Amino acid sequence: MDANLPFLSAFPSPATEIPAVFPWLSVIVLLPAAVALLMPLLPGDGTDPRLPRGLALATLLADLVLMLLCFSQHFDGSLSQLQLVERVSWVAPLGLEWSLAADGLSAPLVVLSGLVTLLSVGASWSINRKSRLYFALMLVQASAQGLVFLSQDFLLFFLAWELELVPVYLLIAIWGGKQRQYAATKFILYTATASLLILVSGLALALHGPVTFNLSELAARSPGGSFGLLCYLGFLVGFGVKLPMFPLHTWLPDAHGEANAPVSMLLAGVLLKMGGYALLRFNVQMLPEAHLTLAPALVVLGIVNIVYGALNAFAQDNVKRRIACSSVSHMGFVLLGIGAIDALGLSGAMLQMISHGLIAAAMFFVTGVFYERTETLSIPNMGGLAKALPITFAFFLASSLASLALPGMSGFVSEITVFLGVTANEGFTTSFRVITVVLAAIGLVLTPVYLLSLCRRVFFGPRIPALAVTGDMRPRELLIGLTLLVPTLVIGFWPRVAIDFYEASTNALASQLGQSGAVALGRIPVLG
């Protein structure tokens, strides 16, 4: 290692990696996909959804239990290096390895992915058409998501990144609303085009020196100059589409507007987090010098996301499209935290991804509950539902309060941490920090306005006679809602339960950025 670049010590190396004694991560990743292959072999004519749904639920529950056992017993959150490392040569001529590992950036998102996917299948009770294909796609999606977060080989990561696009496209195109073909095509065009930039940038890094696709080895190179900036911009646009980042976000309201509620839970709860995770893994960890140069631009983009998403939400008369625009706004805090380039900001970005994954999944789930009873998502065509659906109203209000960052819920902790990260960064001028906080605060003020007005218009006011609503939330639906909302309360009152997972990794990233700036740019203080 070059003695003149001490920040490289923040990166894991083969000497500091902790190998796996048992291939936990491979089992977690491959189990859902293996069971998906069995779906066509199930007995019956495929018209009864109970067997494929039950098989998918059992598989994803077992997978979640494996995740919890693995990370509670064999993962140490106080360590920043890669753990549970599995590395097997797969396609030797291409240098492709089956390389999996977990650290603080990936472990909590793997658990979030497993939980949200399980609950999405649990919410898919109304699926009675092509049920084998539907639940097989859900299982493949679960495997692809886990592989994205755990891959430590660029080609394997890219294969997983592409694989997860296929189930989402089909789930929207087959089981979506009236404009499902348009929404699915727009989704695949945006994300597939972005993938080209990811591939080109990743291959450029891999071929810049001795050829390697290992993410740790690529991170140790830390190229700077114009080459590093070009790779950074390629990754930023490619991953920014999935985040989504303004102005690359326009696929999201259409996708949410046409997807059914379980698929929207996956989109908001997991897929958007892939973009944030990849920015941390590639842009921040691999290209620290370029990140320091462009961090103010990320802060500006984050502010635009926050304010524009909030303002755009006011214009939506469809419940799911309004929540989708709120997701654009809330993911702006992830960009803001990443751009803050200090330990608090990075910690806030991670906590915001976890928090938003739970809250957004809860909001889309409850929206699906009252859609099944009203058969409409048009806000002007609803009203007075609080008396007919009091429990549903209570859950929707609770998730809305979590989304608007009510103190005592996870959204408040994550967003205030991002704010503190921005204000604590002495690498930014005082005026820049003040303007950033003021503009972000405007987005915070707008959030309760559009969410509480949504609650008022849907659940209060005169009852629409055409809405013959019968039956409130069932026990199964209550269980799903509680499983999503209880963690937001736990994290809100005891954030260490989430922070302990990733704090060592975000501190190492912040230290790496601080030392990189001190050595390469001579202007950023060490941020241990």
Q: What is the DSSP letter of 284?
A: I
Calculate mean pLDDT across residues 484-501.
Answer: 95
183-210 per-position pLDDT tens digit:
999 999 999 999 999 999 999 999 988 8
Asked if pLDDT for residue 514 goes beyond 80, the answer is no
Share above pLDDT 70 across residues of the chain, in percent, rounded to a whole number: 93
CA distance 144 to 244: 19
Say which range, 157-171, 214-228, 340-354, 505-519, has the weakest mean pLDDT.
Answer: 505-519
410-424 and 319-339 helices, crossing angle to 10°: 40
- Minimal CA–CA distance to 460: which of 387, 375, 403? 387
CA distance 420 to 353: 17
- The pLDDT value recorded for residue 515 is 57
Angle of CA points 448, 492, 504, to nearest 5°: 120
Kindly report the three-state secondary structure assignment for every residue of 302-335: HHHHHHHHHHHHHCCCEHHHHHHHHHHHHHHHHH
CA distance 257 to 384: 23
CA distance 367 to 362: 8
105-122 per-position pLDDT tens digit:
999 999 999 999 999 999
Asked if pLDDT for residue 15 goes beyond 80, the answer is no
- Minimal CA–CA distance to 282: which of 344, 211, 347, 204? 204
**Report field, pTM of the whole predicted structure over 0.75:** yes
Asked if pLDDT for residue 14 goes beyond 70, the answer is no
- Minimal CA–CA distance to 370: which of 350, 392, 354? 392
296-336 per-position pLDDT tens digit:
999 999 999 999 999 999 989 999 999 999 999 999 999 99
Q: Is 371 exposed, middle or buried (0-12, 13-18, 19+ CB in 10 A)?
A: middle
Calculate mean pLDDT across residues 39-48.
Answer: 79
DSSP conformation letters of 98-163: EEEEE-TTTHHHHHHHHHHHHHHHHT-TT--SSHHHHHHHHHHHHHHHHHHHHB-BHHHHHHHHHH
434-454 per-position pLDDT tens digit:
898 899 889 889 999 999 999
Element of type H or E holding 18: strand 18-19
Mean pLDDT estimate for the chain: 89
Element of type H or E holding 17: none
Angle of CA points 92, 96, 102, to nearest 5°: 135
Calculate mean pLDDT across residues 340-362.
Answer: 94
Per-position b or e across 238-248, b if 16+ CB within 10 A of its CB: bbbbbbbbbeb
DSSP conformation letters of 76-99: -TT--S-EEEEEEEEEGGGTEEEE
